[in-house]
Structure 1
């Protein structure tokens, strides 16, 4: 699933391409993705101007007319910009916006776990998908004091804590594993036991996210940016997806354990498990 760096990279590309442009026509090729497309989606968007493309957590936000579009890429979704999309439509292209000036925006999603929602322009922040989200990891609101407050009584593994979007948004499976390797923290360590390491942990997830942003995100299967090109941070992974391979730091073997059904990669030497 695309995480913060991938969604931010996509938003930046879309903003450059379509912000300030009018939607002339909306073409839908099915009735639903994860959820049904909003009723009257085409009528609501046609003739409006996409004023901006913003990100909140892993959501893409686009104010237009009296509405706010809330989009999520799911596991395999992508927005790309180009020309002649109707004539050159690909399998799994589920929605096309024809913009003024001849540019097209295509939503492509093989697994159809993404979704497109509409909300009232001034009410997007109270939408159930948005209202309960935690702080942005790269913003000042993600302070050491804030992290320690939420760590203090949490017995959950720190890997699960990092991925809880009710606390900090945008740190998914890839970047949680990479963060904990940099911090030399075993992923099973209880969150409360990391309270004295909060400053280091924040520095590590911020450096990982900044580097991933600079690399255009990570492409494992489907992710592409707005121009249809892939990211390349996956070539810099230290542990993620490297089970059975040698650690670049100590030469021990990278291992894989499961947290809440998700794979967690770590080095047993660099990230020694705390004594029970």
Structure 2
């Protein structure tokens, strides 16, 4: 499943093709993906101008001139292909899953834009989805209303973490993966942020707050490492595990600099540490940490 940096990389690539353009024609080639396409989906999109393309958590959000927002989720295998009118600049975005090709049989939705460009959505496993939501109802929509703070905004700070962790009984990993607390943070980047902060994933989340609910030094440290890891990953174009692509077709490269994720049995990379990275299972998912410098 793509995480925040991968979705942000796709957003930045799509933005150049989509924003300011009118959808001249919408071609929907099947009735559903993970969920059915919205009623009269092609009709409601045809003639709409894309005013902006944003990201909320792991969702892409296209704001339309019709007063609706197009919500898009890539699922496990969703990717977009942008082809300019003169076909000189074709770009595949989101080719991260299992190395599968963008085959015609997996093309499920095609946006034909007024300038002659085309944006095609491919999804071999069809776990992605697209929804149309009226702007006035967007924040209250079931997909949106429970989401927590965006991690790269000023809203995520030590005081916020402490307030949410005060009295928490869960471990740090479960706490950080809770989308109601931090939106868009996933397994890979939780592992990397906790390593940089020197905190063990199984440690109680309550270490982020004092008995009075004030932030501890751990909250200060973790806030910084979450932001730094995500920013580093976005700069590298993402890191989802197989063949993730930038907007220009180059592979994302953050996985080449993983400090702990996927490195079971390897020496810790922290200078002076003699620990060996361990793998454990928490909440049904793999966790990686150094037992010496993460406490």
TM-score for the superposition, normalised by structure 2: 0.86
Check 1:121–1:212 CA distance in 2 against 1; reply closer, same or farther (3 A cut).
same
Structure 1 residue aligned with 2:78: 77
SS at match of 2:181: coil
Q: Does 1:248 align with 2:261?
A: no
Structure 1 residue aligned with 2:34: 34
Structure 2 residue aligned with 1:118: 132
* Alpha-carbon RMSD: 1.8
Structure 1 residue aligned with 2:94: none
Superposition pairs of residues 99-178 of structure 1, within 5 angstroms: 99-178=113-192
Q: Which runs of 4+ in 1 moved over 4 A?
A: none
Q: Tell whether the 8 Å contact from 2:237 to 2:245 is kept in structure 1 after alignment.
A: no
Structure 2 residue aligned with 1:20: 20
Structure 1 residue aligned with 2:294: 271
CA shift, 1:246, in A, is 2.2
Check 1:92–1:243 CA distance in 2 against 1; reply closer, same or farther (3 A cut).
farther
2:110 to 78, 85, 96: 96
CA shift, 1:144, in A, is 1.6
Unmatched runs of 5 consecutive residues or more in structure 2: 91-101, 210-215
* Distance in 2 between residues matched to 1:124 and 1:141, nearest whole Å: 20
Q: Tell whether the 8 Å contact from 1:23 to 1:47 is kept in structure 2 after alignment.
A: yes
Structure 1 residue aligned with 2:93: none
Aligned residues: 270
SS at match of 2:195: helix
CA shift, 1:244, in A, is 2.2
Q: Does 1:257 align with 2:271?
A: no
Q: Tell whether the 8 Å contact from 2:243 to 2:252 is kept in structure 1 after alignment.
A: no
Q: Tell whether the 8 Å contact from 2:274 to 2:292 is kept in structure 1 after alignment.
A: no
SS at match of 1:129: coil
Unmatched runs of 5 consecutive residues or more in structure 1: none
TM-score for the superposition, normalised by structure 1: 0.92
CA shift, 1:90, in A, is 3.0
Q: Tell whether the 8 Å contact from 2:161 to 2:208 is kept in structure 1 after alignment.
A: no
* Distance in 2 between residues matched to 1:225 and 1:8, nearest whole Å: 10
